[in-house]
Chain A
Amino acid sequence: MLFKVAWRNIWRNTTRSLVVIASVAAGLLAGMFLIAFFQGFVKQDVNNAVEAQLAHIQIHNPAFGDDKDVNDTITNASAIVEKLRKDVNVKSVSGRAITMGMISSSSTASGVEIHGVNPGDEKNISSISQNVVEGVYFDGKKNEIVIGKKLADKLGVKLHNKIVLTFQSKSGDLTAGSFRIAGIFRSRNSAFDEMTVFTNFDDVAQLLGTGNGIHEIAILLKDGQKVDTLAAGYKSQYPKLLVQTWGEIEPEMGLLTGLMDQMMYIIMGIILLALMFGIINTMLMAVLERQREFGMLMAIGMNKPRVFIMVMLESIMLTCVGIPIGILLTIGIVDYFAKYGINMSAFSKALSQFGVGNYVYPELHSSMFLSVTIMTAITAILSAIYPAYKALQFKPAVAIHQI
């Protein structure tokens, strides 16, 4: 009976009901969008790091470590690379020759980490090739080098200029080679841009005297989520090598992700509280408006608990209508932005100089629907309690005569 009355009440005053429904839907949308935005933001952060330099998994000779001794190459590396190439889980593989050295121009010199790469492989694994702002990512000529914008400025060199790399060869002698700047890149990490230069694998290997010796195998997976299980597999497959996931190489990245999560919950809390007070006020107004009605009901003998239940039922029903609308709205809006992205540079001058890759693509996981829906529903229903309680406070006689 009460159920029917409540249902009818809802449609008696459509404006009021629509406001509550809209608030619930908006609250849900806000919560979901917030999470989706955060997820997208974090994922973009991780992707930037993974795609620019780390890749998902790296394999080294355990002795390579911090010293980066040229002699510590990976035994049997070419065979491992070939095997990984055929692995169904692997999207791309790149074998790198890495050494620490010095880069000099006619005006100054600077310490750098030299990455000898096969451009074809490296293109598929690292986003640096897309961050080239001047020139190209290798032109197929001999002794080409690709350096960061920050380093180029420091050395006072331009595209097609010549620089000299000096480093220790396998035999311990100081060796030097001249390279032409084929491209200048600019990633998000200017420390990386200043410290890392890319050359053709064969050019640097020849100077190093390491032949086809590889210092680092970088692996990009088809599915980044599987990184831990796959890495564990490679670890047991190559027990003598150091197999590391990006999370192990840069533990800060994982921690920062956790920090973002916590931050998100705090903001979520504030938003839900704001939603709660919004609904409370709307409902209070609604109750105020219905003083006469409640007075009448009580005067004709409806007892207080039943009035309370009726008002609560109305709120629950409104919430139940609001939630699916909210979900539909969320899917629509998040899908739109997931496709086109949110251009963050519109909000921050600092970001705009990076150009591409500045878009955040919000991401929805089905697991989030349930938790956000429950949170929003609880918030909505909690906010109905006070107005419903308030409705009981009216004295029937006074209530009828109001206005």
Chain B
Amino acid sequence: MKKLLPFFLAAVMVLTLSFTGEEPTAKEIVTKAENNIHGLSSQIEMTIQIIRPTWTRSMTVKTWTKGEDYSISIVTAPAKDAGTVFLKRVKEIWNWVPSIERVVKLPPSMMAQSWMGTDFTNDDLVKASSRIDDYTHKLLGDTTIANRKCWKIEMTPLPNAAVIWGKVNIWIDQKDYLELRLEFYDEDNKLVNILQSSDIKTMGGRTMPSKMEMIPAEKKGQETIIIYNSATFDQKIDDDFFTTQNMKKIK
């Protein structure tokens, strides 16, 4: 029930907004955009490209999610890695590799490691912090990204929030509440990571960016690109779909 509260509040806010027609507050914008991402459930097929100065690598992955807490991903290509499954349950990550026929739980010490060699860490997946509750939000103004009108919002972590960033700037599309760009800064105001989204398409009945790029600012020639190939949303998936037993059966 507690989990649903933000949804409820957001819904109320959106309703209120549409009636009043007033400019929403920064926090309301972020809340709406966040809820836009985490629907009830999703099933997405994506291509992940890892780009490094001397090599690039591409793989395809199928992912099912339910709320914020559950997700399961299976690698479908390249052939060598096909069948590898990652399961996320609340704050735990499990790994299944068909060739070794064993389920392994990643220890907490591994959370800082890169997820499947990408520029995302395991920790990014389990994300201990919330963009709504752990930050204060300040509307910096309007800008445009790829011909879309955006709000630029500065998010400053609350003093005791478990957030490593000094601040995060977020660009949210004013029409569809899409997070089009995020910039992560350290405490000395130095840019560390950029997450940008583009190629807005309608997929599974939703309008959303189909391409996401994670770019570490300090590392030249390095980035990770995720491209959504197909997506369906809000289908009913049981909780026991996201279990270690199911990891072995999933295709």
- Which residues of A does B touch, CB under 8 Å? 100-102, 104-111, 142-143, 161-168, 173-178
Contact = CB atoms under 8 A, between A and B. Distances in A.
B109 A163 contact: no
A127 to B, nearest CB: 28
A161 B187 contact: yes
B123 A107 contact: no
B160 A105 contact: no
A253 to B, nearest CB: 28
Nearest to B129: A176
B162 A164 contact: yes
A174 B164 contact: no
Interface residues of B, number: 27
Interface string B208-243: 000000000010000000000000000000000000
Given A106-B187, A174-B128, A111 B109 contact: yes
Interface of B: 90-92, 108-109, 111-112, 121, 123, 126, 128-129, 157, 159-166, 184-187, 192, 218
A143 B109 contact: no
B164 A162 contact: yes
B112 A178 contact: no
Given A106-B184, A174-B91, A174-B92, A167 B164 contact: no
B163 A108 contact: no
17 contacts: A106-B166, A106-B185, A106-B187, A106-B192, A107-B192, A109-B121, A111-B109, A143-B160, A161-B187, A162-B157, A164-B162, A166-B111, A167-B108, A168-B108, A174-B91, A174-B128, A176-B128
Most chain A beta-carbon contacts within 10 A, residue among B129, B163, B185? B163
A109 B160 contact: no
Contacts of A177: 160, 162
A111 B126 CA distance: 18
Contacts of A166: 108, 111, 123, 128, 162
A106 B91 contact: no
Given A107-B218, A109-B121, 4 more contacts: A101-B108, A102-B109, A109-B111, A178-B163
Contacts of B165: 106
B126 A105 contact: no
Contacts of A173: 90-91
Contact of B108 (A106, A164, A174): A174
B109 A100 contact: yes
Contacts of B108: 101-102, 166-168, 174
A295 B19 CA distance: 132
Most chain A beta-carbon contacts within 10 A, residue among B157, B164, B218? B164
A110 B112 CA distance: 8
Most chain B beta-carbon contacts within 10 A, residue among A101, A106, A164, A165? A106
B105 to A, nearest CB: 11
Contact of B164 (A101, A111, A163, A175): A163
Given A101-B108, A104-B123, A178 B184 contact: no
Contacts of A142: 160
Contacts of A105: 164, 186
A102 B162 contact: no
A108 B112 contact: yes
A177 B161 CA distance: 7
A161 B157 CA distance: 13
Contacts of B90: 173
A162 B157 CA distance: 11
Contacts of A102: 108-109, 111-112
B112 A109 contact: yes
Contacts of A101: 108
A242 B72 CA distance: 44
A78 to B, nearest CB: 27
